[in-house]
Amino acid sequence: MIRFFDILISISCLILLFPLLLLIALLIKFSSKGPVIFAQQRVGKNNIDFTLYKFRTMYMLTSDRSSLTIGNKDKRITGIGYFLRKYKIDELPQLYNVLKNEMSIVGPRPELRKYVAIYTDEQKNILLAKPGITDNASIFFRNENELLAIQDDPESFYIAEILPVKIQLNKQYASKRTIRKYFVIIFNTLLSVFK
């Protein structure tokens, strides 16, 4: 049943939002050099890598410097990128990942391989669930960039303090996925974005 809603929501959004997606693509293309879409390898269901798509929000040749975005004033982020990130619009291309059955609308956010490599065997159980565009961890850590910005060592803080909490929240959802939880998380995500 969740797969049915994934397909229904992703197709509906892509059709309804097509003019907006086209406008965003043009703004990205003409505001800075580089492709419109940012593609990155992430770890998906069953610990298998897949290519995740986002609207590009950083200047070219800057995304490799750090895998974490630090604060709202990260100089790597383009002008349009700030807006896209603030309202999570940069995530919309992942609707294509949903159609390809690589992701769900709701599920654990897919991590980079370097972070999954430090999961314990128990934590790796969340990889049995299909990754999602949104989850309870995304809502709980909606201010993650600002939180990292005030740390002396953002990467260590992410690994030691944020990542374990994200995994725990995702385990709670993955252990018993229901249609009700699915729609509650979608609703709460929309509320958190537009607060």
pLDDT tens-digit series, residues 34-59 = 999 999 999 999 999 999 999 999 99
Mean pLDDT, the chain, whole residue set: 92
Tell which residue, 188, 48, 15, has the closest CA to residue 128: 48
- Asked if the model's pLDDT at residue 145 lies above 90, the reply is no
> DSSP label at 123?
G
Report the pLDDT value the prediction gives residue 108, as an integer from 0 to 100: 96
Q: What is the pLDDT of residues 86-128, one digit of tens each?
A: 899 999 999 999 999 999 999 999 999 999 999 999 999 999 9
Residue by residue, DSSP assigns 69-116 as --STT-TTB-HHHHHHHHTTGGGTTHHHHHHTTS-EEESPPPPPHHHH
- How many residues in total does the chain contain? 195
Q: Is the pLDDT of residue 139 over 80?
A: yes
Cα separations (Å) of 183 from 7, 92, 134, 170? 14, 18, 11, 15
Residue among 95, 89, 16, 103 at smallest CA distance from 56: 89
Kindly compute the dihedral angle of the four CA atoms of residues 65, 169, 190, 62, in this order, to the nearest 10 degrees. Answer: 0
For the stretch 67-86, pLDDT in tens is 676 655 678 899 899 999 98
Q: State yes or no: pLDDT of 12 exceeds 70.
A: yes
**Residue 72: predicted pLDDT:** 59
Band of the pLDDT at 146, cuts 50, 70, 90? confident
Helices 79-86/18-31 angle, 10° precision: 150
Mean pLDDT for 184-191 is: 95
Rounded to an integer, the average pLDDT of 168-184 is 91
> Does residue 158 sit in helix, strand or coil?
helix
Q: Residue 63's pLDDT is what?
A: 52
pTM equals 0.90
Is the per-residue pLDDT at 11 higher than 70?
yes
% of the chain surpassing 90 pLDDT: 76
